[in-house]
Amino acid sequence: MLMLINVCSLRAQNASGNQPLSIVPYPVSVSTSGSKFVISKSTVIRIDANNPELLQIAQTMAGELKSLVNSSVAIGINNGSKALNNIVLTLNHTADTLGDEGYKLSVHPTGIVISANKPQGIFYGLQTFKQLLPVKANSSTVAIPTTNIIDKPRFKWRGLMLDVGRYFYSVDFIKKYLDYMAMYKLNTFHWHLTEDHGWRIEIKKYPKLTQVGAWRAGTQFDRAANQVDNNPHGGYYTQDQVREIVAYAKDRYITVVPEIEMPGHSLAALVAYPELSCTGGPFKMPVLWAIQKDVYCPGNEQTFTFLQDVLTEVAALFPGPIIHIGGDECPKDRWKLCPKCQARIKAEGLKDEHELQSYFIKRIENFLLTKNKRIIGWDEILEGGLAPNAAVMSWRGIAGGIAAAKQHHDVTMTPSNFMYFDYYQGEPYNEPVAIGGLLTLEKVYSYEPVPTELTADEAVYIKGVQANVWSEFIHSAEKVEYMTLPRAAALAEVAWTPARLKNWEGFKDRMDAQYKRYDAMGINYSKSAYNVWQTVTNAANKQATITLATNSAKPEIHYTTDSTEPTITSPVYKAPFRVTTPATIKSATFKGGKQVSKVSVTSVNPEHAVFEGK
Ligand code: ACM
Ligand code: ZN
C-alpha cells in the first residue's frame, strides 16, 4: 500500500539559516562571533565552593573532555579571578529570568562561563556545551566556537515513557535511556511498571506479584501467524534496583514518575492474587495483545487494601511528587455483572460504572494525598468525574487535555497521533514491525502542545508534553533505541524550544550532526528520515506526477523508473516528474557517494490511475 502522505506540506517554518550551531533542542537565544576557545590539558574547570552538585557536574564534564582530548582537565574552586583558560560553572548569577532550569553559556576566546540559578540549569548548560564539542578529536586540544547562549525551557514536563510491562529491559538499558533523555534536556521519565502482561516492580508485602505476575509463556508475537512463540519472557526490578535507577535519574535531573495501572491493565496482578477480581479467577498470564476484561474489583475492600499497601511501598521508593495510576482502557463488563460492584454503586449513590471508576480513582487519590503524592492518569479518568487534584495525560487526541485544562487541572499532552513512538516512522515495508500508525520525524516536530481552543488563562494548565514507547512490538533494547531516536530529538524541541523559534529546515540540518553523535555513541537509531517518500499525484489523463522527498537535510536522491535498483549513477531527483506509461519507481538517498537510505518502491500505472507501494 502506498501511503499518500505529503510529508512536505504544512511547511510553515522559514527556511534554514541563522541556526549556526547544531544544538538540539535549539536554545532561546544564540549568537556567535566567529572565534574559538581552545580547551587543552591546562584548562581548569572552576566551580563555586562547597557545592557538591556542581562538583558532580564538573566531574561529568571532565570525563567528557578526558575521553575527547585524552588528558585530564583539573577541577578547582572559582576564586573570582579573571584568570584565563577556565571553564567556570557558577550559581552566582545576576538575572533571575532563567528560572530553575535555565542557564547562560558564554564561550569567549579566553574561557567559558556557564551560569544559572540552580545546578539543574548548569547541568543543561553542560548538555549544550557537549553539543559544541567535536564528536571526535585527533589531538590533545579541542577548539569550540565562541558563542553567547541564553536558554530556558518552554515546558516544565518534558517526558518520555517506557513500557516495561509488555517487555522487560535491563537496569543497564534503563540507565542508557535516561542518558538519552538527559542529552535532550528531557526531565520526566514515566516508567510504565505494571501491565496485563507483566508486573515489574518488587512489592515486599505481595511477593507473588513478581514471583508469578512477572513471567509469561511467550515472548514474540507473530502478527502474520497471529500467535506467540513458546519462549518464556519475564523479569522485574528489585526495590534496590529501583532505588539505583531513581538515583541515576536524579543525577541527571530527571524525575521518575512510576505508573501502577488501575483499575484495568491489571491482569498480571490478578493472576497472582485472583481474589482481587470480580470473578475470583483463576487466570493465566496473557500472551496476546488485547485489552483484558478482568480488572480490579472496586466492590471488594480487599482491592483497596492491596492497592494502598502497594502504593505505600511505591511512594517510599519514588521521591517525586506524582504517581501515575493509569486509568485507561478499563472495560466495565465484569463490574456490570458483579454483585459486589453493583452493591458499591448503590451504596455510594453512583450513576453507573463510569462513576464507579471515578469513585475508584478518587479513593486512590485521597489515599495518596496522605503520602504527599498527587496523581496523574490517562484521559479516561475524566469519565465519571475527575478526582479533585488529578492531573491528566491526554492520549486519545487532545480533547481530554482541553477538557481538563478548562477544569483547571494540570495536563501533559501526549496525543497518540503525534507522540506514540511505537508507530511506524516510515513506509512499513521499509521498517521493522510496529504497532501501526505512522509518525514521521517531521510529524513529531510539527506538534504544538497548546490547543488553540484554550484561553491564555486555561493554557497555563498545559504543563508539557511527552512521548510514549509502548513495547508490544519492541522486543529488544536495540529496537527501543530505533523507535526512540531520532524522534526524541524532535520531541525535545517541541518541549523546550519557544514555538516561534522552531524551524524544521534548521532542525533537519542540525540532525545531521546529531546522527554523527549517535554513531559515536553506538546507538541503534533509525535512519528512516533518509528514506524517500514517493508521492503520486495527478494520476489522471494517462499521466502521473511523482514527487520525492525525505525527512533529512539536502538529500541527494537518485531514482529509476524501470524497476532497477537506484545507484549513485542513476538520475538525480531535482523536481517532480511525470510518468505516462506503467512504471516502477525506485529511489534512495545518497551522501558522500554512499547510499544512506533503504530503497523506496512505487508501482504506477497512469493509464488506470493505479499506483502501489511495494
Ligand atoms: C494508552 O495508550 N492506553 C494510554
Ligand atoms: Zn466487582
**Ligand 1 atom nearest to 378, measured from its CA:** 4
242-266 tens-digit pLDDT = 999 999 999 999 999 999 999 999 9
CB under 5 Å of ion ligand 2: residues: 278, 297, 299, 338, 340-341
pLDDT at 9 over 80: no
Q: To the nearest whole percent, how much of the chain has pLDDT over 70?
A: 95
Ligand 1 neighbour 328 (Cβ under 6 A): yes
Ligand 1 neighbour 229 (Cβ under 6 A): no
Ligand 1 neighbour 420 (Cβ under 6 A): no
325-367 tens-digit pLDDT = 999 999 999 999 999 999 999 999 999 999 999 999 999 999 9
Cell of 454: 484554550
501-514 tens-digit pLDDT = 999 999 999 999 99
DSSP code string of 223-280: TTTTEE-S--EE--B-HHHHHHHHHHHHHTT-EEEEEEEESSS-HHHHHH-GGGBSS-
**Ligand 1 atom nearest to 393, measured from its CA:** 4
Cell of 561: 523508473
**pLDDT on residue 389:** 96
Q: What is the tally of helices (H) and strands (E) in the chain? A: 17, 31
pLDDT, the chain, mean = 93
Ligand 1 neighbour 395 (Cβ under 6 A): yes
**pLDDT on residue 16:** 41
> Span 31-42, mean pLDDT?
92
**pLDDT on residue 86:** 95
Burial 44-80 (b: 16+ CB within 10 A, else e): bbbbbeebebbbebbebbbeebeebbeeebebeebee
Instruction: Kindly give, in sequence order, each residue whose CB lies less than 8 Å from that of residue 125, ignoring residues fewer than 6 positions away.
Output: 89, 103, 104, 105, 114, 115, 116, 151
> Span 28-44, mean pLDDT?
93
> Span 461-487, mean pLDDT?
97
Residue labelled with grid coordinates 513478581? 210
Rounded (5°) CA angle 451-454-459? 85
**pLDDT on residue 95:** 67
Beta bridge partners of 222: 227
pLDDT at 219 over 90: no
Q: How far is CA 365 from the centre of its chain?
A: 26
Q: Which residue lies with its CA nearest to atom 1 of ligand 1? A: 328
pLDDT at 234 over 50: yes
Q: Which residue lies with its CA nearest to atom 3 of ligand 1? A: 328
Which of 266, 325, 470 most suits a substitution to test ligand 1, by most atoms within 8 Å of the C-beta? 470
**Ligand 1 atom nearest to 265, measured from its CA:** 3
Ligand 1 neighbour 37 (Cβ under 6 A): no
pLDDT at 15 over 50: no
> Span 226-236, mean pLDDT?
88
> Span 385-408, mean pLDDT?
97
CA of 142 to the centre of ligand 1 (A): 46
Which of 292, 328, 394 most suits a substitution to test ligand 1, by most atoms within 8 Å of the C-beta? 328
Q: To the nearest whole percent, how much of the chain has pLDDT over 90?
A: 85
